[in-house]
């Protein structure tokens, strides 16, 4: 079985992209299904109307298209749309019947594109006979709108009596009449289920037909009948011109849901249809204004466009307009340049060492808070390991401070600077109010920034390297050491994996967090430089 559901559309092409196979393929993409086509005709159309239709007349092409798809890729569900000739309906129905496994129906959704909204016939009556006798009985779900349903029942009436005896027999004036119509279609056409679409009738919230409908309180009612129960699907009426291709979109959505579902459960059919109706409603509600007439729906409303490819979240952060300027200032900061050039005032560096000692304590507290935020044992264990590593780093830091005459007692007596206080408390606030991952993003500029800043300094031709020439050079070596690079790589992996679980809106919030942390890193070094200027 394929890892991705495979859905086939047998329909015509819409040059404007809002209906037909174009709408079908967009819907299939939105449902994470693999879409395939058997094109029955070409149309020249746009949001203002259809200018021309060119049916595929070579039936061997249609047969070969189906054979190519079924023999190689395989098919989990099918939807049919526009089939404008008798031969096409006959060919498609015969081929699909041949692919049936005994009495087990294919996951077939038949959307009968027979009559325009204005009432004009789109296919000859002989083709309607083929639909009724061969194609519709194969369907798991048959999806006529009220105009198409009325046309089919009138056609059946004329076939039986030789003429249409009662012209208004199939007019709908109530929900009960709509249910009766769905039941009659089911019984006479022998399909498994019927979804009778009620978009052409105005119901109020009491499910009564409004003769003089108003926009206020109007609802759309569809009736789904499975041969046993009626299911009334009610949707809010949306005042819009974005209705082009809604039938194509709905039938494709049902096919996708059937491909995704367990077809042996009767309730799955109800859920597949209900979910599809909801999908189309939201597609209408969120539609963009396209064209000058009745525009297309927003097929892609279920998808979120992540603004970076997988594995490039950190690169996205570093290049983001909210981050980029401060990031460049951070990793090329005057404090670190002076440090590498051995022109940094000793007071600035000692102040930095003192404040960094305080910062490391809060850094450990942040990881403790992160442990509290997580319920994953592996994450908890790793967090505990990081805190142990910070404790070890603090011991090394104390030893480094001693080289500059700062004892542990001196460090413990140091007053926390304003920049240190602001940065550390902000980190703890992020950890308190946001989730574990947001805290990891907030902590990451320290990790990535020190690595990049030190790497730049090591490549700087003006840098004074070596302990004998530069008392600060150990700082550069610490943050270009392999173990720190490995820690940065691990931190990147955590961010790249974790971000995939978050929405686009959350990602933008994470950008703001990263940007703030980067700015505060700059201010941390700004404070050290300013301290060196004091008398």
Looking from the CA of 251 toward its CB, the CA atoms found within 13 Å total 33
Here the tokens at position 330 are 């951070």
List Cα–Cα distances, 344 to 43, 353, 355, 364, 519, in angstroms: 74, 13, 16, 28, 21
Here the tokens at position 208 are 């009564």
Q: What is the DSSP letter of 231?
A: E
Q: Calculate the CA 77 to chain-centre distance.
A: 22
pLDDT at position 356 is 94
pLDDT at position 529 is 95
DSSP letters, 40-66, are EEEEEEETTEEEEEEE---HHHHHHHH
pTM across the whole model: 0.79
pLDDT at position 168 is 63
Task: Give pLDDT tens digits along the chain (535 positions).
Answer: 678 999 999 999 999 999 999 999 999 999 999 999 999 999 999 999 888 889 999 999 999 999 999 999 999 999 999 998 999 999 999 999 999 887 788 999 999 988 766 566 778 888 999 999 999 999 999 999 999 999 999 999 888 876 655 556 778 888 999 999 999 999 999 999 999 998 878 888 888 887 776 767 788 899 999 999 999 999 888 888 888 989 999 999 999 999 998 544 555 889 999 999 999 999 999 989 999 998 999 999 998 888 999 999 999 999 999 999 999 999 999 999 999 999 999 999 999 999 999 999 999 999 999 899 888 898 888 888 888 888 888 888 999 899 999 999 999 999 999 999 999 999 999 999 999 999 999 999 999 999 999 999 999 999 999 888 999 999 999 999 999 999 899 999 999 999 999 999 999 999 999 999 999 999 999 999 999 887 6
Q: Note whether 6-285 and 313-532 share their fold.
A: no
Rounded CA-CA distance 438/317 in Å is: 13
The residues, ordered by sequence, that sit 6+ positions from 459 with a Cβ below 8 Å of its Cβ are none
Active site residue: 401, 521, 522, 523, which one? 521
Domain segments of the chain as ranges: 6-285, 313-532
Rounded CA-CA distance 205/216 in Å is: 10
pLDDT at position 375 is 85
| Active site (annotated) includes residue 33 | no
Planar angle of CA 287, 289, 293, nearest 5 degrees = 110
pLDDT at position 534 is 77
Here the tokens at position 233 are 């699907």
The residues, ordered by sequence, that sit 6+ positions from 429 with a Cβ below 8 Å of its Cβ are none
Active site residue: 33, 38, 446, 522, which one? 446
CATH architecture of 6-285: 3-Layer(aba) Sandwich (3.40)
| Active site (annotated) includes residue 521 | yes
pLDDT at position 215 is 67
Mapping DSSP to helix (H, G, I), strand (E, B) and coil, where does residue 366 land?
helix
CATH class of the 313-532 domain in this structure: mainly alpha
Residue closest to 61 by CA, chosen among 25, 34, 87, 35:
87
Length of the chain: 535
pLDDT at position 532 is 85
pLDDT at position 264 is 47
For residues 531 and 460, the answer to whether their CB atoms sit within 8 Å is no
């Amino acid at each position: 079985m394929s890892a991705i559901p495979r859905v086939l559309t047998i329909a015509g092409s819409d040059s404007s992209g809002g209906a037909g196979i174009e709408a079908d393929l967009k819907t299939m993409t939105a449902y994470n299904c693999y879409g395939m086509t058997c094109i029955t005709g070409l149309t020249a159309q746009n949001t203002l109307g259809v200018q021309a239709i060119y049916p595929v007349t070579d039936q061997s092409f249609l047969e070969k298209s189906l054979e190519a798809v079924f023999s190689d890729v395989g098919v989990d569900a099918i939807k049919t749309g526009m089939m404008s000739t008798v031969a096409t309906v006959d060919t498609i129905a015969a081929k699909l019947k041949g692919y049936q496994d005994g009495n087990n129906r294919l996951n077939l959704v038949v959307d009968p594109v027979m009559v325009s909204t204005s009432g004009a016939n789109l296919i000859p009556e002989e083709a309607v006979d083929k639909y009724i006798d061969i194609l519709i009985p194969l369907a798991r779900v048959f999806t006529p709108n009220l105009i198409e349903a009325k046309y089919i029942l009138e056609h059946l009436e004329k076939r039986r009596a030789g003429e249409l005896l009662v012209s208004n027999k199939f007019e709908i004036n109530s929900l009960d009449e709509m249910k009766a119509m769905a039941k009659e279609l089911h019984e006479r056409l022998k399909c498994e289920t019927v979804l009778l679409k009620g978009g052409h009738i105005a119901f109020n919230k009491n499910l009564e037909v409004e003769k003089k409908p108003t926009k206020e309180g109007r609802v759309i009612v569809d009736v789904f009948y499975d041969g046993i129960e009626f299911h009334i699907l009610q949707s809010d009426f949306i005042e819009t011109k974005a209705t082009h291709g809604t039938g194509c979109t709905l039938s494709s959505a049902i096919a996708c849901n059937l491909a995704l579902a367990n077809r042996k459960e009767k309730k799955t059919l109800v859920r597949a249809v209900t979910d599809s109706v909801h999908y189309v409603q939201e597609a209408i509600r969120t539609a963009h204004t396209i064209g000058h007439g009745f525009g297309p729906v927003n097929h892609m409303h279920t998808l979120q466009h992540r603004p970076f490819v997988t594995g490039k979240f950190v690169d996205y952060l570093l290049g983001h307009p909210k981050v980029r300027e401060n990031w460049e200032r951070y990793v090329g900061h005057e404090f670190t340049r002076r440090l590498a050039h051995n022109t940094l005032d000793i007071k600035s560096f000692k102040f930095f060492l003192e404040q960094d000692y305080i910062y490391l304590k809060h850094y450990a507290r942040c990881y403790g808070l992160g442990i509290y935020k997580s319920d994953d044992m592996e994450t908890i264990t790793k967090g505990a390991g990081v805190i142990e590593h910070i404790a070890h780093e603090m011991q090394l830091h104390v030893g480094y401070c001693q080289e500059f005459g700062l004892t542990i007692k001196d460090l413990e007596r140091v007053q926390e600077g304003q920049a240190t206080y602001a940065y550390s408390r902000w980190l703890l606030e992020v950890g308190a109010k946001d989730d574990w991952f947001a805290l990891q993003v907030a902590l990451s500029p320290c990790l990535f920034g020190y690595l990049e800043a030190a790497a730049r300094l090591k490549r700087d031709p003006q840098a004074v390297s070596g302990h004998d020439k530069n008392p600060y050079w150990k700082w550069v070596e610490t943050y270009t050491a392999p173990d720190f690079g490995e820690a940065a790589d691990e931190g990147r992996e955590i961010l790249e994996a974790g971000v995939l679980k978050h929405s686009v809106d959350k990602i933008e919030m994470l950008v703001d967090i990263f940007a703030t942390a980067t700015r505060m890193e700059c201010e941390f070094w700004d404070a050290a430089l300013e301290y060196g200027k004091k008398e």
